Amino acid sequence: MNFSPPPLTVGLDVEASADVVWNLLIRVDEWPRWGPSVSRAAIDGGGPRIGPGATGTVWTTPGPAVPFRIEAWQGTGAVRHWSWRVAGVPATGHTVRERDGGCRVEMSAPWWAPGYLPVLWVALRRVKALAQDPAPTSPR
């Protein structure tokens, strides 16, 4: 029997549609706007949005560029979710849950990475601010 503890999850209610929040989470050009540890990202083969099995490179704010692969994907419905591996290691999960008056956005880290929760909290606050007042800095 293989037991793995559940991921550590934080979330916020957002007064914006699930579509708006989901778009922020799946467009790699948006990641540096909300992700404190991301300075840039690109999908292999180009394109603005990740999808099931997408691969690419993420440039971290500490400096190194590392490969990523989307591992889990649910892109439609009342609950949408994606998670990834970064440099081959299970990384964060991103979930949007539709609700009356907006949505709930949640981010999770593996159980062994509790020190990353403050980073996720900052990311959630940024997503909320962007979703509720999107004022784009780059073309959509």
42-71 confidence digits (pLDDT tens)? 999 999 999 999 999 999 998 889 999 999
For position 10, what pLDDT does the model report?
98
Sign (positive or negative) of CA dihedral 10, 116, 31, 7 = negative
- Taking the C-alpha atoms of residue 31 and residue 41, their distance in angstroms, rounded to an integer, is 7
Average pLDDT estimate for 124-139? 80
Given a contact cutoff of 8 angstroms between Cβ atoms, the answer to whether 38 and 60 are in contact is yes
Q: In terms of pTM, does the model score above 0.95?
A: no
For position 123, what pLDDT does the model report?
98
Domains and CATH numbers, the chain: 9-132 (3.30.530.20)
**Bridging pattern class, strands 89-99 and 55-60:** unpaired
For position 40, what pLDDT does the model report?
96
Number of Cα atoms under 13 Å in the Cβ half of residue 138:
10
